[in-house]
Each structure stands twice: as structure tokens, then as C-alpha cells.
Amino acid sequence: MKKAGLFFLLISSLAMAQKSSLEQKINSITTGKKATVGVSVLGFENNFKYSKNGDKELPMLSVFKFHIGCAVLDLVDKGKLSLDQKLFFKKEDMLENTWSPIRDKYPDANVSLSLGEVLDYTVALSDNNGCDLLLKLIGGTQTVQKFMDSKGVKGVQIKRNEDDMHKNWKTQYDNVSTPNSAVLVLKKFYDGKLLSKKSTDYLMQIMLGTKTGTNKIVEQLPKSTPVAHKTGASGKYEKGLTVAENDIGIITLPNGKHYAIAVFVNNSTESDAVNCRMVSDISKAVWDDFNK
């Protein structure tokens, strides 16, 4: 019993030291910055946990496209939708003043793409027009909210589509997640507790192929590192305000183990470069900590 007790104390003190060391590094990155920064980290195999503002509800921006992707694939799992079915984009579906690689490729619209293609555009390329067509297909943001609620995902609220958020930028504050909720939903996803194995693998591959946010959590990690992630960014508004610069993801370590990370930079008056560098530096600090 004594040996077991000593071993437990040793493990506990090592975990405390890891958390303290990481906290110091992250505080050194965020101190003095004119922004609210939320961070959450969850080691999948060792259950290591770290959070800074982890229970604070922060605007998600396009991070919510991960949640939408899950809700769409749940309907695929239930046989109500098929990845091969065609979605038709009318001219009025191609909003002009928004981020949309689909519109850039098909400026005249009147094009049919498979549900699988639209999912890839929406998650890996963060296409806003693809996002809103998916929401229209499944019955709106309330379908996504109900799905998350049904899976016991706490600390997330999804009320607005991309069109809403472009018509009135203040509605960006209506779609929120806590950083802790973000890493916990990624763990549920990874564990196959949200979707079938086939759909989990499918969405994981899309997220591993994310093309946005190369200057965020992936920037300073070794190039071959598998990172399944989803980014979000607001742009700038009154008095240089950035509502959000976000990234959440599942990272595979060289030893084959994993951790989830969520970094949310909120209400910042720093430059875009500074905001993204904070996300990148925090990600590097966490990586270094896990690879000690």
C-alpha cells in the first residue's frame, strides 16, 4: 500500500508540475495583450487537463462548422441523408460579401455538388455559402443544437447562420462555446460517441485536410504532425475590434498518443498577426509540454 501511495503521489506531483510549467508559458504569451484568451487542453490517454478561462462562453465563429458537420453526418448515419445526394446552388445561395471558395469556383452558380463535397468545402475550407446550404438542408441551427444536447455536450450554443452574422456582426456573439466544451466534444467525437465509425473516420479525414488557419495551431508543429482541426475568424469591426480568432483540434503525438486543444482569442484590439501568433505560440507551448 505504501508503495502504491508513493507512486500515486509522484504521478500527482508530476501532473501538477506539468500544469504549473504550462501555465507559466501560456501566461507569458497572453500577458499584456488587449484580448480575452481562452485555452483548454485535454490529454486523451493520460487525461491531462489544463484550462485558462476554460468555462467562459466565447464566440465560435466558423468553429461551429465542426458541430454542423457532426449533425449532418448523424443524419447520414440515420439514413435520412446520403453523402452522394446532390445539393443545388442557386444564384441567391451564392452570397457575395462572404468567404466562399464554392462561389469563387462557380461564380454563376446553378451547380449541383454532392453532400460530401459540400461538407469538405464547409469544414476543410470553411465555406460560408456551403455552411448555410447545409443548415437549410437539415432544418437550421436548432437541429445542430438539439443534436449536441442529445449527446450531452454542455457549454455550447448555436443560434445563428453565416448570413445572420454577416448582416449584423454583433450576432457573432450568439454562437458560443467554452474552451472546455470544445475539447470535450472533440474527445467524444474521437471516441466514437457522436457518430458511427464510418462517419467519424470521414469527418476526421476532412479535418486532417483543413486548409484554413495555417498560421494558427499547426504553424509551429513539425510538418508531418497529424492535426485534425477547425478554425474560426471574425475579421475586424469598430475601433479595430476582432470578435474572435479561434482554432480547435486533435493532435497526434510522435508516440501515437493524442490531445485536444482549443484556443479562443476574443474581443481583441491587437493586430491579426498578433492574435494568430498567440494561438500559434500557445499551441507550440502545449506541444513542447507533451513532448518533454
| 17 has a pLDDT exceeding 70 | no
| 23 has a pLDDT exceeding 80 | yes
- The proportion of the chain whose per-residue pLDDT surpasses 70, expressed as a percent, equals 94
Q: Could you list the residue range(s) of the whole structural domain that residue 212 is in?
A: 34-290
Helix (H, G, I), strand (E, B) or coil at 218: coil
- 112 lies in some domain: yes
- 18 lies in some domain: no
Q: What is the pLDDT of residues 114-128, one digit of tens each?
A: 999 999 999 999 999
- 23 lies in some domain: no
Model confidence, pTM: 0.93
- 191 lies in some domain: yes
Residues recognised as catalytic:
62, 162
- 1 lies in some domain: no
Angle at 211 between CA 84 and CA 41, to 5 degrees: 105
| 224 has a pLDDT exceeding 70 | yes
CATH code (residue 203): 3.40.710.10
The overall average pLDDT reported for the chain is 95
- 146 lies in some domain: yes
pLDDT confidence bin for 21, thresholds 50/70/90: confident
Domain count, the chain: 1
